[in-house]
A and B are shown apart, each in its own frame.
Chain A
Amino acid sequence: MGKELIQKSLKDSLFTGIIALALFGPIVGLRTVAKNEVLIVEPKWLVVLLIVIFCAVGRFFINLYTFKKEQRRGEPSSLGKAISNFLDEKGAQIAIGAIVFSIIFPFMPFADRYWMDIAIMMMTYIMLGWGLNIVIGLAGLLDLGYVAFYAVGAYSYALFAIHFGWSFWICLPLAGLFAGMFGILLGFPVLRLRGDYLAIVTLAFGEMIRILLLNWYELTKGPDGLTGIPRPSFFGLPFKRYPDEGVETFHTFFGMEYDPMQRIIFLYYLILILALVTNAFTIKIRRLPVGRAWEALREDEIACKSLGVNPRNTKLTAFAVGAMFGGFAGSFFATRQAFISPESFTFIESAIIVAIVVLGGMGSQTGVVLSTIFLIGLIEVFRDFESYRMVAFGGAMVLIMIFRPRGILAKRKPTITMGKQG
């Protein structure tokens, strides 16, 4: 087997090298440079050679250790299996450890403004991932327009807060409610669609909301965006260095020095709580009849109908609940940024959230966290390399697809077990 394997892998990697040459030769190898006001082609064959060698050798080793090794393609590799088994066994401990870590995180010595901002951003993505996991992971409805609900949440929060001056804790549920209503609104026309067709319509829905926000100038200020969104306060105590006359602030109330980090840490805990609530809710509802019906619908809609499960209501609740959490995350986004514009709600956001859910392993709550850390973390680590960020993002996706074709955590736990009942 060994010789044959090496032969096969060599052949394949040679082929990969040829494809790499064909691709990167023109893209990287031929560069136009302006010299003395003349455009000339400057060949960079050394770089091309390095890339081709990298691709071929990389392919050779991937072949040797994953693709060709196990005869059946698409089976999880041994490395992936080991990771997954480890996470399965130690799942509870890891989850508790992660929660403890995220609680003490702001007081870590290295947790400066930069790290806190990244942590808040990651938490937002984790929360969005958990929300979308209900729609995609549980109910199996491929929703490519999730950012629309994020936008609806953000804008309804902003409009309520600006025009009525309501506090964060009143606007938050309202924003969730609005987003949930939009979820139902989207749900109705797409009830009969599945798979690719559903994906197209949801994608269009996401764009519609964005374009609506862009053009309804009277309400949304269009491309100018909404400014002056009130910052959240700590039970009525604002985070301000120079408060208005007679207003007690957070730092004076607790007798501390003013520090802008106080607000950042508060925002961090806010999104941490929101995300954990989303997680707890999802874990709980998955074990309820409606959660089981979502999963059953993902598995086989016709069988569901034959058992008297109402597919319409079941799908609509999935859309509504998923959208509601998107709305919560949106209102957090609005209050954190204090400024929102349609720019923030483009398709790429939807795509990233979908990637987080799918690469994490459909329906897996822990998987969402892992893939967020992996994907968003990589983008951040590569921040200094500008245009290579997206290459890193794509590379991370490719790596997950090679080692864990069904997502980082593909194993599903039953929602109810006979053993537990005795």
Chain B
Amino acid sequence: MSDTLLDVQNLTMKFGGLIAIDDLTFSAKKDHITSIIGPNGAGKTTVFNCLTGFYRATAGSMYLNKDNNKMDLKKFSDFKVAQKAGVARTFQNIRLFPQMSVLENMMVAQHNKLMIASGFSILGLLNSRSFLQKEKEAVEISKYWLDIIGLTNRADDNAGDLPYGDQRKLEIVRAMCINPHLLCLDEPAAGLNAKESAELNKLLKFIKNDKKTGILLIEHDMSVVMGISDHVVVLNYGKKIFEGTAKETKNSPEVIEAYLGTEE
């Protein structure tokens, strides 16, 4: 049990009469990439929204194993999930700060730590040395991540001016700036070409192996899912219909049925 990072039990989410997630139970391991797949409208993003505090789940429990501390994610509301529990996420439709520079995007992600360093702005207004030092460190962290995705030379450009693929990658490394334990990625490969997808795979493997951050992934691009997932959860109409390794999933008749329908 100790290598379980995320433990979701009987998660249910209802919108009025509509049951978006129906009694979903699954877990994600540390140092694993766990993919959630399923046809459109299966409730994948709703799972993310429950996990990251954007929705309040109707029933069920979600626990995060943060350095062997069991944290109840249901206790945290919206921004506190990222701040206190260390669950970061990206969005299906990219949500950068388009009019701000790439570096500023990375700095906003380190807001909470910098806010304390700036003495809630008082030390910052006084130009305190300790704050300037912390700010420099934050820039270094940003530079480290931008080097990895090869965007350092565009650090001072507006994030909205980047090509689409770079925006996707920037959103992921921006989320990494909060030092998450769990990184939730909502269709990171959507709209990427084959080369960019391959780069994405590399980045995600790096985050998993070198940063020891668990990844929860929603994805339609099967080359990404099959290439990097350690574990796959398949949803359909809010219910889990299959769980297993990528290979098992590929050959599962239930999954094929959900995607392609049955042969009459």
Contacts and interface: CB of A to CB of B under 8 A. Distances in A.
A79 interface: no
A305 B78 contact: yes
B97 A308 contact: no
Given A288-B124, A292-B107, A418-B156, A306 B89 contact: yes
Nearest to B122: A288
Interface string A214-250: 0000000000000000000000000000000000000
Most buried by B among A290, A293, A305, A412: A305
Interface residues of B, number: 47
Interface stretch (B38-46, B67-75, B108-116, B197-205): B108-116
Contact of B103 (A284, A308, A311, A417): A417
A292 B120 CA distance: 13
Contact of B99 (A289, A299, A308, A311): A299
Interface in A192-213: none
Given A308-B112, A414-B104, A295 B52 contact: no
Contacts of B178: 307-308
Interface string B180-195: 0000000000000000
A416 interface: yes
A307 B174 contact: yes
B88 A306 contact: yes
Interface string B87-112: 01111000111111101100111011
A307 B54 CA distance: 12
Given A285-B121, A414-B156, A419-B156, A307 B99 contact: no
A290 to B, nearest CB: 5
B108 A307 contact: yes
A10 interface: no
A283 B64 CA distance: 41
Interface string B54-85: 10000000000000000000000011111110
B125 interface: yes
Chain A interface category by residue count: 20 to 34
A416 B139 contact: yes
Given A292-B107, A309-B111, A304 B99 contact: no
B250 interface: no
Interface string A301-326: 01111111111000001000000000
B175 interface: yes
Contact of A307 (B118, B121, B155, B175): B175
Given A304-B79, A305-B79, A307-B82, A295 B139 contact: no
A71 interface: no
Contacts of A304: 79, 108
A303 B160 CA distance: 14
B152 interface: yes
A300 B95 contact: yes
A414 B101 contact: yes
B137 to A, nearest CB: 11
B14 interface: no
A289 B52 contact: no
B211 interface: no
B104 A292 contact: yes
A38 B27 CA distance: 90
Contacts of A416: 101, 103-104, 107, 135, 139
Nearest to A306: B89
Contact of B152 (A285, A300, A305, A418): A418
Contact of A300 (B96, B139, B143): B96
- Report whether over half of chain A's contact residues are helix, strand or loop; otherwise say mixed: helix
Contacts of B118: 288-290
Most buried by B among A288, A289, A299, A416: A289
Given A303-B95, A309-B79, A421 B112 contact: no
A64 interface: no
Interface string A256-297: 000000000000000000000000010011001110110110
B79 A418 contact: no
Contact of B124 (A289, A296, A300, A308): A289
Nearest to B112: A308
Given A295-B100, A307-B175, A302 B91 contact: yes
Contacts of B177: 307
Interface string B145-183: 000000010011000000000000000001101100000
A85 interface: no
A316 to B, nearest CB: 12
Contacts of B83: 308, 310
B129 interface: no
Contacts of B247: none
Given A311-B79, A419-B156, A303 B115 contact: no
B101 A300 contact: no
A306 B97 contact: no
Nearest to A299: B97
- Nearest first, the 9 closest Cβ-Cβ pairs linking A and B are A308-B83, A308-B82, A299-B97, A418-B155, A303-B95, A414-B101, A289-B114, A288-B124, A305-B79
Interface of B: 52-54, 78-84, 88-91, 95-101, 103-104, 107-109, 111-112, 114-115, 117-118, 120-121, 124-125, 135-136, 139, 143, 152, 155-156, 174-175, 177-178
Given A414-B104, A416-B139, A418-B143, 6 more contacts: A288-B125, A289-B121, A300-B96, A307-B177, A308-B178, A414-B103
28 contacts: A288-B121, A288-B125, A289-B107, A289-B121, A292-B108, A292-B111, A293-B108, A300-B97, A302-B95, A304-B79, A306-B79, A306-B82, A306-B90, A306-B95, A306-B175, A307-B82, A307-B175, A307-B177, A307-B178, A308-B79, A308-B112, A310-B83, A317-B121, A412-B99, A414-B100, A416-B101, A416-B135, A418-B152
Interface of A: 281, 284-285, 288-290, 292-293, 295-296, 299-300, 302-311, 317, 412, 414-419, 421
